[in-house]
Structure 1
Amino acid sequence: MRNIALIVVDMINTYDHPDADLLVPSVRSALPHMERLIAHARSKNVPVIYANDNFGEWRSHHGEIVEKTLAGKKAELVEPILPDDESLIVVKARHSIFYETPLSYLLSQLGADHLVLCGQVTEQCVLYSALDAHIRQLHVTVPRDAVAHIHSDLADAALRMMERNMGARIALTDDVTF
């Protein structure tokens, strides 16, 4: 059995950005699946790591990012999946969860060689993160119902690319085991 970590990608979000109106319906659909996936990981003592954009706020830390999000107009999209006291947090500035972050080191310290990716945006940050995980010889699972997209056609293509080109397992939330 592999050592697994659940990565929640960019879900601490104010939804105050271009494309938010296109993204929010998909987030609403994926949110219950993400919530169930996070709860399941926590119940199995699987590390839950939030890899989140800092929105260019270089003086902020993860607590401030959460506070700003909860004060925003879409707090209901964040509240069900907030980090708990056991959650690990990696602040990122670009699309990949690995780019210029300490995630590789953290995963090595945890002994994790299999990532389950949930969050947003399927055709952007999730895709680039899956590619970077593949390059690092990590196994990847993406529950297709626990990722949100801006453009459904691009999301479908991204999931196919992850499966075909990167060997990612594309599954449903209920098929993910920890």
Structure 2
Amino acid sequence: MAATALIVIDMLNSYEHEDAELLLPSVRKVLPRLTSLISRARQSGTEVIYVNDNFGLWRSHHDELLDTVLSGPRADLVEPVRPDGNSLFVVKARHSIFYETPLEYLLSQHGIDTIVLCGQVTEQCVLYSALDAHIRHIRVTVVEDACAHIHADLAKAALRMMEGNMQARIASSTTEYLFGNDARAAGC
């Protein structure tokens, strides 16, 4: 049976990088919708998978990365979206969630053929991940208001590219039936 997963991209972040000041206003704006989206996925029984940069810390693992960002100056942006005990976690080193990660194998093992993308950055990691999913014949939904951007104009262009060139569904966090089990969670 085919399934859907919510992929949370790069939200475990210390925001101590070059573009952080440009990114922060957008992160603050999308954070409530992103938090609600993660909660909705969990309530519907949808697999929540965090795919996150390792910040060049090649000896680190999930708990160390989380501890690092939660003890940093922007912990308030991480705490609301932190993984729970049921979340899956994949470390990446480049923009795409698929590039040299085990994500494709994980998805196939869980029967997942549709991914819902949220997180950051729309015009970078979300865009490249949507392209890589498309070439792997994985259906993609991008939750526009749950993705942060650095440059609004590039984010809008990236969303148009994902929709037009990659057949990605562009949705809002309030769109019904984002997850295959939404109807069950709603008591339908």
What is the TM-score of this pair, normalised by structure 2?
A: 0.93
Name the aligned partner's letter for residue 27 of structure 1: V
Q: For the residues of structure 2 that align with 1:50 and 1:64, how far apart are their CA atoms? A: 14
SS of the equivalent of 1:173 reads coil
8 Å Cα contact 2:163-2:170 kept in structure 1? yes
Q: For the residues of structure 2 that align with 1:172 and 1:58, how far apart are their CA atoms? A: 35
2:185 is matched with none
Q: Alpha-carbon deviation of 1:26?
A: 0.2
Q: For the residues of structure 2 that align with 1:112 and 1:172, how far apart are their CA atoms? A: 21
**1:28-81, Cα deviation, whole Å (9 max, x unpaired):** 011111101100000011000000000000010011000000011000001001
2:28 is matched with 28
8 Å Cα contact 1:143-1:176 kept in structure 2? no
What is the TM-score of this pair, normalised by structure 1?
A: 0.98
8 Å Cα contact 2:2-2:111 kept in structure 1? no
Aligned length: 178
2:67 is matched with 67
8 Å Cα contact 1:27-1:148 kept in structure 2? yes
SS of the equivalent of 2:5 reads strand
SS of the equivalent of 2:56 reads coil
Q: For the residues of structure 1 that align with 2:107 and 2:59, how far apart are their CA atoms? A: 25
The root-mean-square deviation of aligned C-alpha atoms, in Å, is 0.9
SS of the equivalent of 1:55 reads coil
2:45 is matched with 45
* Gap runs ≥5 in structure 2: 180-188
State whether structure 2 residue 112 is matched by structure 1 residue 109: no
Aligned identity (percent) is 66
Q: For the residues of structure 2 that align with 1:2 and 1:155, how far apart are their CA atoms? A: 30
